Chains A and B, each alone.
Chain A
Amino acid sequence: DGGITQSPKYLFRKEGQNVTLSCEQNLNHDAMYWYRQDPGQGLRLIYYSQIVNDFQKGDIAEGYSVSREKKESFPLTVTSAQKNPTAFYLCASRVRAPVTGELFFGEGSRLTVL
C-alpha cells in the first residue's frame, strides 16, 4: 500500500545528543514536510522540500536540519542546539504546488529527551 512511514515511533534521547527521525514515502510525491506538535499549539512547520536537493526553513527551523537526497526520503535531525526537543514529530507529503491537494501524514514519532 502507498503511504508514509516514519521511524522510530518512540525515541528517547539524552541531552546533548543528536537524533535522526526517518521519513519515507512511496506516493511519488515531490513535496515533503516536517511538523512538530506540542500540546495546545497545533502543528508547526519545521522544514519543507518541494523537490530533491532543495528545502526551505519553516517557522521553527532552529536546532533542526534536513536533507533531501532522494525523492522518497526526507530525514529530520534534531540537534543538541534544539532547546526543547521533546515533542511529537509528523512527516507529510503531497503533490507539488501549484497543483492543489491535501497533505498526507505519517503516523508520527514521539521524541523524549531524558
Chain B
Amino acid sequence: DQQVKQNSPSLSVQEGRISILNCDYTNSMFDYFLWYKKYPAEGPTFLISISSIKDKNEDGRFTVFLNKSAKHLSLHIVPSQPGDSAVYFCAASLTGNQFYFGTGTSLTVIP
C-alpha cells in the first residue's frame, strides 16, 4: 500500500503566482521529508527537505510545510516561473534507511 501519496497528478499555475503542491503520508514514524524535481528521462534533483522536529523550512522561492497531526506535507513555490515546470515528487524516510516516494505532481507554469 502506498505510504506516501500525491493526490493531484497535475497542476497549472500562472507565472508569478504561487504553486502549492501537496503530499500525504500514512506512517507517523517518518522523520525526514524531501521534495524532488524531475524532468523527463532525467534523474530527480533535490529541492528542499524538512525534519519531523520542524514545521517549516524555507530556501529562496521554495518553502516546505509539515503538519504532523494531519500527516500532510506541502511545497510552496513563490513566485512560480516557467522553468519550474516539471514533475515534483515528495518523499519520506524512516531513520534514513529507506525512502518512500509519492506518485508525483506535474506542474505547468503558464507564461
Contacts of A104 on B, CB cut-off 8 Å?
46
Given A90-B44, A99-B96, A107-B42, decide whether A42 and B101 contact each other with a Cβ distance below 8 A: yes
Contacts of A33 on B, CB cut-off 8 Å?
99
0/1 interface trace, chain A 26-39, chain B, CB 8 Å (1 if under): 00000001010000
Q: Which interface class (under 10, 10 to 19, 20 to 34, 35 or more) fits B?
A: 20 to 34
Q: Which interface class (under 10, 10 to 19, 20 to 34, 35 or more) fits A?
A: 20 to 34
Considering the chains assembled together, what is the distance between the CA atoms of A44 and B46 in angstroms?
Answer: 17
Contacts of B89 on A, CB cut-off 8 Å?
42-43
Interfacial residues, chain A to chain B (CB-CB below 8 A): 4, 6, 33, 35, 40-45, 48, 50, 58, 88, 90, 92, 94, 96-108, 110
- Please list the 4 inter-chain residue pairs (A to B) with the smallest Cβ-Cβ separation, ordered nearest first: A97-B96, A105-B43, A43-B101, A42-B103
